[in-house]
Chain A
Amino acid sequence: MRKLKQSLLVIALLAVSAWSFAAGKTEEKAVAAPAADKNITLTIAASQNWLKEIDREISKDFTAETGIKIDIQVNPDDQYPAILQTKMNTGETPDIFYYSAGLTLKKLPLDKVLDLSQEPWAKRMKDWAVKGSTIDGRLVALNLWSVDGWAFVYNTALFDKLGLKAPTNYSELLAVCETIKKNGVVPIYELVGDMWHTPLYLNQAAADASMNNPGLYEKLNTNKAKFAEIKEFQLCVSRMKEMADKGYLGETYMSNTWTNAIEAVGTGKYAMFFGYTSWQNEVARDYPQSGANNFKMFPSPLGVEGTAKSFATSAGGTVALINKDSKNVEAAKKYFEYRTRPEVLKKYYDQRADLNSNPSFPEVEAKPTVGLSSISKQVNNNFLADAQAGVLFYDLMPIGEEMQSMFAGVITPEQALKNIDAYRAKIGKSAGITGF
């Protein structure tokens, strides 16, 4: 009897395992439709937060029209680049994969990426989107994102209540933070532990530095200039540490996470957040009473001695590329053509409140947020390329690791910049870039 019970238990466990496996495998498969390409399955890889429900919905529509199935493979944000590189090195490159726009694309083996320059939609893409997807004269990616930048999003209702104005320089920022802190609100929500966020402040400092030193990015890319020697970077990191030490980032900034940022600001516990221009839409969606639709923005003054005069913008967020060696290249091109139809673009951007401030195609109406309008006015539309767009090997995670060490008190701000230079030097040397 005991043996029978044990056997039944084992059989039940195996059955549950088999069912779970089968259920998990079919989760991302779209419903097939009668069409000539119904035996093709396109694999699309991306970081987990880059693709939303609307991407899956559009993929299902594509399958219904063409019969081509879509298999979406998402990976944790911090591990996606490594996973993608592994797949590319082992010959398992997905048919379509997403990556960060701009110079970062050079980390990919671009000889294995399809040239999209002659695609019919290529001529329709906005200039900034083409620029961020072009490497060595080849258009290698489709941009379905937005050009955006990171700045301080602030709770305008709280500022009005406390009689505060948006700061234009560092001294004013300190004064604003002190007033907010005295009134029982944490001035700034920061997430040092997530590592990728703190380097974004240096993005702005880089734009400020490039404005004051024309040709700086080229010098950084040939190792003729170093982060540790640039005044704007020195100011930025030392001021970030100073603000943390003064308590303006709260008590838990070392372990805060991105996923709690919306709640932190939406509930009024924190007054400001270093976010992108459409971030306030997401706060307004989850916390309508917060008045987030009226939040405004101001550029980070951490890297300048006087007034902040520029807004650093990206090379275009994330882009989609096609594996040149894929067996389904034509199907992948069909998918890109489908995604770039005006009606599909409109449907997509309507659901992407985080991207519709400046869509990549002109057929879709831009819906700039109050934040973007306020910052544009403050800097007189002086938008400049940020570090990620213009500086080689500006990798957020390794740089964020040095920033984390700085905030933890393990190294000084000066040492953090030297370590960033050392990291870039070793990568540059590996890549055989002249000067490194």
Chain B
Amino acid sequence: MNHDRFTAIRLKGINLKNNAKISIIQGQFYPQYFILPAFLLYAALFILPSLLGIVYSLTDWNIYRNAINFIGLDNFKEILATSSYRLIIGNTFFFALVTTFFKILIGLILALVLNENLRTRHVLRTIFYLPVVMSPLVIGLVFISIFNPTRGLLNQALRGIGLDSFTRQWLADAGTAMPVVMGVEIWRLSGYCMVIFLAGLQLIPQNLYEVASIDGAGAWHSFMNITLPFLRPSITMNLILNIIWGLKAFDIIFILTKGGPGHRSEVISVSVFDEYSSGRYGFATALGVVIFVLTSVIAFVVLRMLNKREVDFV
């Protein structure tokens, strides 16, 4: 069988190949109306609010006046014309790209190491995954304490080893605020990527490594030609999810720096909160639409690019 050109789907013990154009939705196994309850719920809780949000983003809805007036694209024009918002959009992309890269890299390294037959691998997997399940609020408060310039653990440790010149006001310095926030986010979610990669690693047939070893392939060749291709679905999933999370990041940044100093660590979600607090609901919604559009476009493009190159392993 040629495994390169299609993906096999297992359903109740029956193999269906998508190049034969048989799909579940054609009703051969489930009636179409089975999807209605879930779709209605999804539409009510996601599609409808999203559409309403787009409508409100075209208005001057605010707390100061009862009347809501249609103003077209004025909110979006203001976003693009204001240098601080352009900086914030740039910050958002930067945050998403850098954190995604390092989360995937560190998650992959952890997965490769913890996939080996170590006696403590289960404990270590739990330890590295723990930050994922901790509340971002708790993490933020702990790191605020760690980064405190006078009594924080980091600066105290640096002073203790004679590196006083390396101490900083980590969260209040325009040059370090964003890197610090990104570092905390990477620390927090690398464990999630690790778990996804671990799941992917379990599905790689081990006989391929044996065959490659017999043929004289080294560790690097095995990794590049066996592990990575089979991990593409996991990489795709991690890439999509982390880009989306990065573009929508709010809690950690808000707790640590509130986007300061000088908007240097501010991302779109924090701006949405600030504008909402100022009572400019229409404008805040427009910023939300910007995130929605950016996230959707980027996620769609990345998904299309990577899905073509996935490896079938049946």
Chain A positions within 8 Å of B, measured between CB atoms, are: 78-79, 81-82, 85, 89, 106-107, 109, 192-193, 195, 251-252, 254-255, 395, 397-398, 401, 404-405, 407-411, 426-427, 430-432
Known: A408-B260, A431-B65. 16 other contacts (CB 8 A): A79-B277, A85-B277, A107-B63, A193-B171, A195-B258, A254-B173, A255-B149, A255-B172, A404-B260, A405-B261, A408-B172, A408-B264, A410-B262, A411-B262, A430-B279, A432-B64
Which residue of the partner chain A has the closest CB to B67?
Answer: A432
* A431 & B261 in contact (Cβ 8 Å cutoff): no
The reply on B62 being an interface residue by CB < 8 A is: yes
Main secondary structure of the interface of A (DSSP, over half): helix
Chain A residues whose C-beta falls within 8 Å of the C-beta of B280 in the assembled complex = 426-427, 430
Cross-chain contact A107 with B261 (CB below 8 angstroms):
no
Minimal Cβ-Cβ distance residue in B for A409: B174
Determine whether B18 belongs to the interface, using a CB cutoff of 8 Å to chain A: no
CA distance A162 to B274 in the complex (A): 45
| B277 and A82 within 8 A (CB) | yes
Residues of B within 8 A of A427 (CB): 64, 278-280
Chain A's nearest CB lies how many Å from the CB of B204?
29
Shortest distance between the CB of A425 and any CB in chain B (Å): 12
Confirm or deny: B128 has a beta carbon within 8 angstroms of a beta carbon on chain A.
Answer: no
The 8 closest A-B CB pairs, nearest first, are A410-B262, A405-B262, A254-B172, A431-B64, A408-B261, A82-B277, A255-B172, A430-B62
Q: Which of B37-71 contact A (CB under 8 A)?
A: 60, 62-66
Cα distance A254–B172 in the bound complex, in angstroms: 6
17 contacts between A and B (CB under 8 A): A82-B276, A82-B277, A89-B63, A106-B64, A254-B173, A254-B261, A255-B169, A398-B274, A398-B278, A404-B260, A405-B261, A408-B173, A427-B278, A427-B280, A430-B62, A430-B64, A432-B64
Most chain B CB atoms below 10 A, which of A89, A192, A255, A427: A255
Binding site for A on B (CB under 8 A): 60, 62-66, 78, 148-150, 169, 171-174, 258, 260-264, 273-274, 276-280, 283
Chain A residues near B171 (CB, 8 Å)?
Answer: 193, 255
Q: Bound complex: CA of A405 vs CA of B273, how far in Å?
A: 19
| Complex-state Cα separation, A35 to B260, whole angstroms | 52
Residues of B within 8 A of A252 (CB): 149-150, 169
Determine the chain B residues whose CB is within 8 A of the CB of A398 once the complex forms.
Answer: 274, 278
A404-B149 in contact (CB<8A):
no
**B63 and A408 form a contact (CB under 8 A):** no
In the complex the two chains form, is B261's CB within 8 Å of A85's CB?
Answer: no
**Cβ–Cβ < 8 Å partners of A251 in chain B:** 149
- Nearest to A428 among chain B residues (CB) is B64
- A85 to B150, alpha carbons, bound, how many Å? 37
Nearest opposing residue in chain B for A86, CB measure: B276
Measured in the bound complex, the distance between the Cα atoms of B277 and A5 in whole Å is 48
Contact of A255 among B66, B78, B148, B277 (CB under 8 A): B148
B279 touches A85 (CB 8 A): yes
How many angstroms between the C-alpha atoms of A398 and B174 in the bound complex?
18
Q: Which residues of B contact A407 (CB under 8 A)?
A: 261
For A398, A409, A430, the residue with the greatest tally of chain B CB atoms inside 10 Å of its CB is A430
With A252-B169, A254-B172, A395-B278 known as contacts, the answer to whether A405 contacts B62 (CB < 8 A) is no
